[in-house]
Amino acid sequence: MASSFERRKLLGATGATVGSLLAGCSFSSSPQATLSHDRIIWYRSPVSYDIAIVDEALYFSTGTDLYSIETETGEEIWSRHVEDEPNLHSDETTCLREVVASDGERLYVPSCDGVRALSLKDGSDLWTAGSAGMSSVVATGSHVYAGGSDLISVSASSETEEWQTAIGAREELFLAPTDDGVVACNEAAGVVHCMDADGTSRWQHDLEWEGRPPVVAADTVYAATGRDQEIGRLVALDRSTGSVNWTAETPAISPSGITTGDEQVYVGTYPDENDDGRLVAYDQDSGEMRWDYTVRDSDFASPLADASGVYAGTDDGVYAFSHDGTERWYVETEYPTSCILVSDGQLYAGVMGELVAIDVTGDDR
């Protein structure tokens, strides 16, 4: 399948400009994203804002196509066009969500005909389970959890649906795996559910406002909520009992949610009344604010963390910080940039239809 690809080793090279339409969207014009920083390793189109990584390959869905590409070069390993394939539950053509998960053995993609298990080798179908309307998926151990209006568990090896429970999700159901089950957050209702692997409901907690994707770290579930892009709240819940460890009032939290690292919870925010976006770090144990960083005329979106620091996208680039809040470097892209995944010293980000690999090692250069 034809695609736009360019290998870049930008060691003092002159600037270059690339552009394409964001997969699944259309624009009145075709903006150009300037990708000319020393840290940019490669870029290519298309892009998806949810990626699975296994060994040295990235896997993602654009809704109509599946891709596997090399982490080192960005070159395509395989692709599969599914738009014209038959649907298992209707006469309509197949549709996939731009969401993927992997347990290292298979790739899982929710679709309009259930959750699909695919071969990592070539993207071929292994099995399909569940009903129409799945919108989210996570894989952990021997279980695959998929969410839509209901939450289901499927045995990864036997493709058998193990249990199903009505969560009551009207829109998005955010999932986070645990070592013995799954945490689900109903975006519209703002209710967090903790489920055991056998389908037993351990507890649920009402956030009162719209939910964000939860994060599980050790024995704590960190849940974020917001109201009308004006105010946010971060809640730490005991994973065993659901009791509230602490609550912190925050600026309005962006939909991309939160992340954890180095005993801190990082929150990216919408612009406030002064058009200032903030990246705020809170202590994981107490909820006390450790530090915050402000950027003008932008939000801070999609924070990610690894052993070296924390990364967040803005309306015109990507920032990297040490865990103490010290700015390490900034890569300008001139357009809204979303951090997707960080692994083995590389950050994968989406910029105007391009998937960009960025070297995150070291400090400013």
| Residue at 152 is within a domain | yes
| Residue at 162 is within a domain | yes
**In angstroms, rounded to a whole number, what is the distance separating the alpha carbons of residues 20 and 10?**
21
Domain containing 188: what range?
82-206
Q: How far is CA 311 from CA 174, 182, 221, 232, in A?
A: 21, 26, 21, 20
Instruction: Give residue for tokens 């995944």.
Output: 341
SS3 63: coil
Residue 176: give its domain's CATH number. Answer: 2.130.10.10
What total of structural domains would you count in the chain?
1
**In angstroms, rounded to a whole number, what is the distance separating the alpha carbons of residues 97 and 134?**
8
Dihedral over Cα of 86, 145, 258, 322: its sign: negative
Query: What pLDDT score does 149 carry?
Result: 79
Query: What pLDDT score does 132 carry?
Result: 77
pTM for the structure as a whole? 0.88
**In angstroms, rounded to a whole number, what is the distance separating the alpha carbons of residues 262 and 350?**
25
**In angstroms, rounded to a whole number, what is the distance separating the alpha carbons of residues 93 and 184?**
29
| Residue at 171 is within a domain | yes
**In angstroms, rounded to a whole number, what is the distance separating the alpha carbons of residues 69 and 79?**
9
Instruction: Give residue for tokens 């089950």.
Output: 181
Reading the chain (365 residues) residue by residue, the pLDDT tens digits are 444 444 443 333 333 333 322 232 222 233 455 677 899 999 999 999 999 999 999 999 999 999 999 999 999 999 999 876 655 555 555 688 999 999 999 999 998 888 999 999 999 999 999 887 788 999 988 899 999 878 999 998 888 999 999 886 666 789 999 999 999 998 888 999 999 999 999 999 999 999 999 999 999 999 999 887 788 999 999 999 999 999 999 999 998 889 999 999 999 999 888 888 999 999 999 999 999 999 998 889 899 999 999 999 999 999 999 999 999 999 999 999 999 999 999 999 999 999 999 999 988 75
Q: Bridge partners of 277?
A: 295
Cα 235 to its chain centre, rounded Å, is: 20
